[in-house]
Amino acid sequence: TYRHANNPLIDRRILDSRHAYGIKLLTAKGGVGAKELLTNLKQGMSVALMNDQKMNDGIAAPFFGHDAMTASGPAKMAMRFGAPIIPVGVRRLGGTQFRVTFFEPIPQSQLEDKSAAVFETVTRINNWVEDRIIEAPEQWFWVHRRWDKAIYRKDAGSSVSTSAGSI
């Protein structure tokens, strides 16, 4: 899925480069986007979703020791269609050189209770993202608040602590 960049010149460049590699971009939000995504999954196609984004909805799941609103859609769709959740990491090597790594699938919960299974799977996804950040915190940069504003007020003057340091 794709959310258009605010700058139309940058947006055009992103779109052109992705189309050059045969990547089909789907509308990021709303009914049209959901329909496109589900149609592609039903046809057995791969879809890519960014899961480390700020969400105003979704479910509250642990992320670095604090609940963060997290997209439940990827877990729900994977469970519904029997699709694997294959995480992909991109690491800057220097200059314009990057390493793209496809990791082992994240196991989906087998709990009978659907809500509990979605929560457990979303938590596993968040844990995977946490592990990548801990491995290379210098590779991560968020331009938005990941947690509820109350967390930032409570921790004013300090940073979010991890076993690898602070973010």
- Do residues 68 and 135 share a domain? yes
Structural domain boundaries enclosing 82: 52-166
- Predicted confidence at residue 166, as pLDDT, reads 46
- Tell whether 59 and 93 lie within a shared domain: yes
The answer to whether residues 15 and 88 belong to one domain is no
Both 98 and 142 in one domain: the answer is yes
How many distinct structural domains can be found in the chain? Answer: 2
pLDDT digits (tens, 9 = 90+) for 74-127: 899 899 988 999 999 999 999 989 999 999 999 999 999 999 999 999 999 999
Q: Are 57 and 116 found together in one domain?
A: yes
pLDDT tens digits, 123-142? 999 999 999 999 999 998 77
pTM, 2 dp: 0.76
Using an 8 Å Cβ cutoff, are 36 and 28 in contact? no
The alpha-helical segments, DSSP class H, found in 66-113 are: 73-81
Q: pLDDT value at position 121?
A: 97
Supply the DSSP string of 25-66, one letter for each residue: P-B-SHHHHHHHHHHHHHTT-------SS--SSSEEEEETTE
